[in-house]
Structure 1
């Protein structure tokens, strides 16, 4: 649209909205529908969503895609759920999935299917006909809308609210449980904020699962790997609950052990090596010094990575139990894990402890 034909008020709006505008805004600026239709038919403009137009002819950038969804939803709209999680860095961005927005409960905005590029007579470079111009919009409604957003250039839900919404959108309670733990640990979200938001806007489903996730996080779980160890190894196999993130002084520095069983009278240390940073030279040196400190203190230690903890939790549990028994721990109940039955039938109780158990 040539500058000389653009009313100043409309040009300011277009600059603020990355070249995007709604039919209602155009009408308010005195731009009639007939002129809008002519520009669309000539291929000078593009129809992005229902009632939302772009005054350029090229493909949309990600900021333009998000802005289109927001102005479609109206002034109060917030980026939310997976889209807000992408903007917060909780999950990787995927331009093929719809943009999620949340609006106040009273608004009647409806979701939009993807918009495809149609034919036109533009003399300018345009996206290929039939390609996706905009991935569409998923509209959520919230009675707590006024309390869950951040007023930024592209408003979005708060970090804690985003983590909760992402978890509640999962298909199962277990997936919601893992999602919340993953979001909180990977993005270092303040647990106090998550707990407060769960109290203020109690989700309609997965309440028990999310409450259990917060409890596990409060016990010191700081990664998805630690979650799998706590749930799939300890809980699933009836092992004692470890103390997590216990401090240890090495070379005058305070370091932290992932899991230790001093609370049940056993000096065993379990380290969970699942972070890329363990390959860094400084971290390798720190871990060696910590290993030496444990050896000098006469403390047994086991180290597990993501592959064995997630892929073969029964084997990990058997190794942990073997050391626990060797150090004096006595199992009072049967192993509740059904997957371990084949192991017990093949090896018997002695196979787990090398004949040391009573």
Structure 2
């Protein structure tokens, strides 16, 4: 058993009945029941007597009442068959790529051509022609970290949401941008390819959160600002801290700090104050923006950054985007 999950080995000799029930949280398939001597009539009798219940086609719980989460996962995997992989959001949560959410539906991936209903009360089944290339060496079997990250991003409703989700996943550090880049080449997604490539490129360049992605796209790129350098080290109180964006490479001694939710924590707030003081003592301009400003008024943010950059770069053009006319922009 791994991470509380039972190990289902269809190619191994069947375990004894008590062991099977214990490993699979009381959930069994029709095939397993027949292998243990249960006739079709006996199975039907157990269900009629309400000692058992059918939870999915050819999958049964040997008890009544609601199924606990572990039993639901076993049922989904038994329904999908020996090749079923936990995938998409279900796999993403188990890999730690996404925070825990609603338990259902349980998402699994099976080989293309597998005959099964794609969506049942608590199972969402996906089919993949590349199934054998997705398998990670885990127990229970899941899609690989990189494939899982791509799958959940592609499931988003639009390209921008896909890019932001992949940016957030890569920002966890639990999956390598290089691994995702390689899988995008080996297994090109049917949609959002450019958006996912852009997410990998930005994270490789130092973007670490959705807030930083919004700043890079809606502030810098949309307004033609020079791309700042991300995650640049600065020594403060004898310790190496990191600035979100600096524009020294563009000829301006300007630091931009992006305050996300983590900056509300006391230790992070202290580091922010010390970095701010260090920048002031070093004669650097410093601007601080939070989620609200960057997400709702990026044009105002861009105007403020432009104003500071112009102090050092007289030839910097003032660029506008399609949203600028709708915001009060000062310079």
Regarding TM over 0.5, the answer is: yes
Q: State the partner residue of 1:281.
A: 266
Contact 1:242-1:259 at 8 Å conserved across structures: yes
- Match in the other structure for 2:78: 71
Match status 1:92 vs 2:103: no
SS of equivalent to 2:191: coil
Q: Look up the match of 2:288.
A: 303
2:56 aligned with 1:49:
yes
Cα deviation code 1:172-209 (max 9, x no counterpart)? 22221112112111354211221122122221222111
Hey, what's the Cα distance between the residues in 2 that align with 1:263 and 1:59?
60
**How far does the alpha carbon of each residue in 1:100-154 deviate from its partner, in whole angstroms, 9 at most, with x for none?**
101122422332421xxxxxxxxxxxxxxxxxxxx2x222122332232234343
> After TM superposition, which residue ranges in structure 1, 4 or more long, deviate above 4 angstroms?
none
| Secondary structure of the corresponding residue to residue 326 of structure 1 | helix
TM-superposed CA distance for 1:234, in Å, is: 0.9
Match of 1:341 in 2: 325
- C-alpha separation between the residues in 1 aligned to 2:323 and 2:112? 47
1: CA distance, partners of 2:204 / 2:268 = 25
Counterpart in the other structure of 1:111: 118
Tell me, in whole angstroms, the C-alpha distance in 2 between the residues paired with 1:329 and 1:242: 17
The size of the alignment, in residue pairs, is 317
Alignment match, 2:309 = 324
Q: Which residue of 2 aligns with 1:193?
A: 179
Matches within 5 A, 1:34-45: 34-45=41-52
Please list the CA deviations of residues 316-337 of structure 1 after superposition, one character each: whole Å capped at 9, or x if unmatched: 11111111112334333x6241
In structure 2, distance between residues paired with 1:61 and 1:330:
65
Aligned position for 1:248: 234
Tell me how far apart the structure 1 counterparts of residues 175 and 36 of structure 2 sit (CA, whole Å): 43
Separation in structure 1 between the aligned mates of residue 272 and residue 183 of structure 2, nearest angstrom: 37
CA RMSD of aligned residues (A): 2.0
CA deviation digits over 1:82-113, x for unaligned, max 9? 21122233143213x42110112242233242
Structure 2 length-normalised TM: 0.90
Alignment correspondent of 1:15: 22
CA, structure 1 residues 70+18, in 2 after alignment: closer, same or farther (shift >3 Å)?
Answer: same
Q: Secondary structure at the match of 2:28?
A: strand
Point out the more displaced range, 167-176 or 35-44. Answer: 167-176
| Alpha carbons of structure 1 residues 261 and 8: separation in structure 2 relative to 1, 3 Å | closer
CA distance in 2 between counterparts of 1:82 and 1:8 reads 31
Deviation at 1:226, TM superposition (A): 0.4
Equivalent-residue separation in structure 2 for 1:286 and 1:224 (angstroms): 21
Deviation per residue, 1:216-243 (Å, 9 max, x gap):
1111101111001001111112211111
Structure 2: gaps spanning 5 or more residues: 1-13
For each residue in 1:45-103, what CA deviation from the matched residue of structure 2 results, as whole angstroms up to 9, or x when unmatched?
011111100001131111111111001101111110121122233143213x4211011
Within-5 A mapping of 1:120-139? 135=122, 137-139=123-125
Moved more, 142-151 or 259-268: 142-151
Q: Distance in 2 between matches of 1:61 and 1:212?
A: 40
Q: TM-score, normalised by structure 1?
A: 0.83
In 1, distance between residues paired with 2:183 and 2:322?
A: 37
5+ residue gaps in structure 1? 1-6, 115-134, 353-358
Name which one, 1 or 2, has greater alpha-carbon Rg.
1
How far apart are the structure 1 equivalents of 2:84 and 2:92? 16
